[in-house]
Structure 1
Amino acid sequence: MTYSILGITLLISFITDIRNRRILNIVTFPAMAIGLLYYTVTLGFQGFLYSGAGLLIGFSLLLIPYLLGGMGAGDVKLLAAVGALMGTSFVLHSFFYTALIGGVIGLILLLKRSGIWNVFKSPTYTLYSLLNVKGISKNSGITYPYGVAITLGTVCAALLGGIG
């Protein structure tokens, strides 16, 4: 049951984050509540602790990047929902895959934005780039919907399991 709720939560969040750059509270909060309720009913107080710890870990993992302005609150709540539905170990694996995927997406966007991406397309452009290198400012404005990375990272955690 939790995989079904997780799948629905991720799918809706993926779509709304791509379309509107928002992950909706109406999706994440019920997912958190369902996780807490399901584990509490099925496993009692231990289940509540299992889901609650997952929720807190998921929330904590993205709290600092959010506070530094690196992502939106919806991203934090989505990972908290993953934790509430799947527990601590799963959300840690999900975060690991999310960070890898998010880093790759960010690197590709950075290369594309800086023009270095064209190096891979054209030998002529490669020579031009080497002669005319420009830095990228810290405020380059490169952003993307991080819910995509969270969704893909969570799917990797579900399919691939643990790390190592």
Structure 2
Amino acid sequence: MPISIWLDLLLTVLVVSAAVTDLAIRKIPNLFLLLAWCAVISLHLADTAPLPAIGTALGGALVGFALFLPLYVVRGMAAGDVKLMSTVGLFLGPAEAVQACIFTWCAGGIMALVMILFTRRWSDAYANLRSLLLPMVRIGPTVQAASLTRPSVGSMPYGLAIAVTTLWLLAQRYFPTISL
């Protein structure tokens, strides 16, 4: 069986496992991610051209990390979500990692709106979004402590959004007629 199929199978197992644990306990275990990194590097080392394959994989991991890190910095997601997207990028490579990040942001936004709708926390969500975005457009000193005192609208299992997006991208590889 080609290495690409093994990588896709492992990625499928990873994102489904991560989504299930994120839904159940709101954490993505580092052990899942470490095992995935070891598996990807090992599979690429068994490839006929290991260095370019490993370079592409690391580039994808860097893209996933770089595009999700700002959301962690502003407390928009947990570190496990950033590490999961970096690991997904390791499997997908840089170009597909960009796609995965953009589609995951969209899926996550839809999930957040649904959660806010069902919990009826519109005013808290608006205040949190305002305190998050307002310092970015203001010039001059701002008070960051005010944004820390707002009540959370609730934690979101972002691993689910990452999994749905990743599975959709993988499905497009094998069933090209699937599209938006």
Select the residue among 46, 49, 58 that pairs with 2:52: 46
The runs of 5 or more residues in structure 1 that have no matched partner are 117-134
Q: Are positions 1:14 and 2:26 aligned together?
A: no
Name the structure 2 match of 1:93: 99
Aligned-partner residue type, residue 65 of structure 1: L
RMSD: 2.1
| Aligned with residue 172 of structure 2, among 137, 150, 160 | 160
Aligned length: 146
Equivalent residue, structure 2, for 1:150: 162
Shift of 1:61: 1.3
Shift of 1:33: 2.4
1:64 is displaced (CA, Å) by 0.9
- 2:48 corresponds to 1:36: no
* Distance of aligned partners of 1:114 and 1:56 in 2 relative to their CA distance in 1, 3 Å threshold: same
Please say if 1:81 is aligned against 2:93. Answer: no
Q: Give structure 2 stretches of 5+ with no counterpart.
A: 1-5, 129-149
Once the 2 structures are TM-superposed, how far is the Cα of residue 151 of structure 1 from its aligned partner? 0.6
Cα displacement (A) at 1:140: 4.2
- Name the % identity: 25
- The amino acid that maps onto 1:29 is L
TM-score (normalizing by structure 2): 0.73
Q: After the TM superposition, which parts of structure 1 deviate over 4 Å for at least 4 consecutive aligned residues?
A: 161-164
Equivalent position amino acid for 1:89 in 2? A
Rounded to whole Å, the distance in 1 between the matches of 2:75 and 2:35 is 25
Cα shift at 1:115: 6.8
Mapped to 1, the partners of 2:72 and 2:14 lie a distance apart of: 20
Secondary structure of 2:152 counterpart: coil
Query: In the alignment, residue 158 of structure 1 is paired with which amino acid?
Result: L
Find the partner of 1:68 among 69, 74, 91: 74
Q: What is the CA distance between 1:84 and its match in structure 2?
A: 1.1
Give the AA of the match of 2:90: A
After TM superposition, the structure 1 = structure 2 runs for residues 67-146 of structure 1, keeping only pairs within 5 Å, are 67-114=73-120, 135-136=123-124, 137-138=127-128, 139-142=150-153, 143-146=155-158
Q: Deviations over 1:74-125 (max 9, x none)?
A: 1111111111112112211211221111111111122223377xxxxxxxxx
Q: Would the alpha carbon gap of residues 92 and 41 (structure 1) be closer, same or farther in structure 2, given more than 3 Å must change?
A: same
Task: State the TM-score, normalizing by the size of structure 1.
Answer: 0.80
